[in-house]
Structure 1
Amino acid sequence: MADERDRIGVSYDVKPHAYDPDAHPELFDGVPARRVLAFVIDLVILAVPLILVWLFFLAIGIVTLGLGFSLFGLMPVITLIWAAYYYGTTLGGPRSATIGMRALDIEMRTWYGAPSYFVLAIVHAGLFWVSTSVLTPLILLVCFFNKRGRLLHDFLVGTVVINNPDRAGAPRPPEPGPGTV
């Protein structure tokens, strides 16, 4: 059987999960809350250029006495292209993090530890938007039922969001002992 696998170029090696929340809890400490804040930052970064394009189309529509208002039909396509570009270049870039994620010291990795890449980043973001649209934002509660804080779309594409090495390697504050305020 091994000879046949080698001949067709298929490998059945299963990679182990690179991030163990029991052995390295510092990788997952506070990640869900910082993911929410990173999302808000990224949403603003995505929205500002789209608002500027919308205002430009409005001005063109006024100047052309209404003929330019047909440009608003391009907004869904422009929005999709801009979002795919943003997520693909930031989340799929060398730091595997969007600008909001970088600001909050978190990054996305594959479940076996590899950095993200362009197509994975676009699929991950697309599944996020589809899952929260179709299944309501309540689907985000999934992160509270697993030790790694993974969301539905993380499970589907095989990713995990962790603290970056700088944050995870930082010393943890001492736990308050008995008799301390």
Structure 2
Amino acid sequence: MAYTTTTTQDLRPAGPAGLPLGMVDGVRRRRIAAVALDLVLVSIVAFGLWLALLVLTFGLSLVILPPLFPFVAFFYNGLTVSGPSMATPGMRLCGLELRTDATGARVPFLNAALHAVLFYFSWTVPPILLVSLVTRDKRCLHDMLSGVIVVRRL
């Protein structure tokens, strides 16, 4: 008669898209660091673009700085998350990636861009970000609404 042992790892339920819950361990701290890095990178890109426009338009573009940051952030997040690495540069440095919660596949551009818009909107109502403290898979409300999950890179 053969006996098999069951570890607690085997008893852990699968998360969204059948991903093991171990893939979301330590995600919150990494996400905070990734957001800080990405905000710095987006700010640098937006400032560089604004400076280039300032020179090219002889100062007439001074008034477009406020809408320039969201525009850059939208495409920065949409293009990097929907790309082959499935993560922004900040997320890559922190060992994270974004996947769809239904299949665990790469996130399409529109979902990634929607995720970015909802993420930046959630900063206007900070208590919304606390949702990740009570969800089993550590997802924020904007993750759930855009159909994605942040996991550790393999």
TM-score (norm 1): 0.68
Q: What is the correspondence of 1:14-25 to structure 2 with a 5 Å cutoff?
A: 17-19=16-18, 24-25=20-21
Q: Does 2:136 align with 1:147?
A: yes
Q: CA deviation at 1:75?
A: 1.8
Post-superposition offset of 1:73: 1.6
Aligned to 2:151: 162
Kindly report which structure 2 residues correspond to 1:117-128, keeping only aligned pairs within 5 A, or say none: 117-128=108-119
Q: Where does the alignment leave 5 or more consecutive residues of structure 2 unmatched?
A: 1-14
Do 1:96 and 1:117's aligned partners in 2 also have CA atoms closer than 8 Å? no
Q: Does 1:49 align with 2:45?
A: yes
* Range 25-34 or range 35-44, more displaced: 25-34
Contact 2:95–2:152 under 8 Å retained in 1: yes
Identity %: 36
Q: Which has the larger radius of gyration?
A: 1
- Residue from 123, 126, 147 that aligns with 1:132: 123
Structure 2 residue aligned with 1:173: none
* Equivalent residue number for residue 12 of structure 2: none
Using the TM superposition, give the Cα deviation of residue 109 of structure 1 relative to its aligned residue in structure 2, in angstroms.
0.8
Matched to 1:80, the amino acid is P
Aligned length: 139
Identify which of 28, 33, 40 aligns with 1:37: 33
In the TM superposition, what is the alpha-carbon distance from 1:60 to its structure 2 partner?
A: 7.9
TM-score, normalization: structure 2? 0.79
User: SS in structure 1 opposite 2:17?
Assistant: coil
- Residue type of the partner of 2:149? V
Question: What residue in structure 2 maps to residue 76 of structure 1?
Answer: 66
AA at the equivalent of 2:107: S
**Cross-structure match for 1:9:** none
Unaligned residue ranges in structure 1 (runs of 5+): 1-15, 166-181
